Amino acid sequence: MSDQKRVSTPDDDVLAAAAKKASARGLPPVERWNPPFCGDLDMRIAADGTWFYLGTPIGRPALVKLFSSILKREGDAYFLVTPVEKVGIKVDDAPFVAVDFDREGGRLVFQTQVGDRVPAGPDHPIRVTRDSATEEPRPYILVRRNLEALIDRKSFYRLVELGSPGTGPNAGWYGVESAGVFFRIAPLDF
């Protein structure tokens, strides 16, 4: 967002109040809001899911959850939006981290660091990318509105333990199934 100029000084207290009001009845419809861009806020979500404001970790989980409810992604850019204000923030990797999951019937239900519960399946796919230099896997699950969670290492290892070789169109792949969908983790010849 370095190419976007600061138009005005967004106020984090105003954003928090608007987010609280908007999310009183569940997740606000940020996908329908297109307020004017008001500038970048010195807020960052680190790769481990820690939210920072002015370089300091936000220590109040309720405030982080509140801000996460008004998070919107447009292309590769992330914003906090209310019906009247839109401010840019930085996200190092994914805005959420899937910190655990449970098997519930034939579904794997993930939980994020901000309390979202997401069942992996057709509406919430799992994808695994690989670092081009280290070949280290980077697993993600779609949480909501084109916002993903990085699946933490311990949860990914548990997924691998639950996995199996695919069949049919997934032959040659190792993966895991949830809600009737096979999610590819790695080629069998990796």
Count of structural domains within the chain: 2
Backbone angles phi, psi at 16, to 5 degrees: -60, -45
pTM for this structure?
0.85
Question: Do 64 and 36 belong together in one domain?
Answer: yes
Question: Do 49 and 115 belong together in one domain?
Answer: no
pLDDT tens figures, 24-63: 557 899 999 999 999 999 999 999 999 999 999 999 999 9
Question: Do 68 and 116 belong together in one domain?
Answer: no
Q: What is the CATH number of the domain that holds 114?
A: 2.30.270.10
Nearest residue to 143 (alpha-carbon basis) of 105, 75, 96, 77: 96
Per-residue pLDDT 10s for the chain (190 aa) are: 444 444 444 555 655 665 555 445 578 999 999 999 999 999 999 999 999 999 999 999 999 999 999 999 999 999 999 999 999 999 999 999 999 999 999 999 999 999 999 999 999 999 999 988 888 999 999 999 899 999 999 999 999 999 999 999 999 999 999 999 999 999 998 6
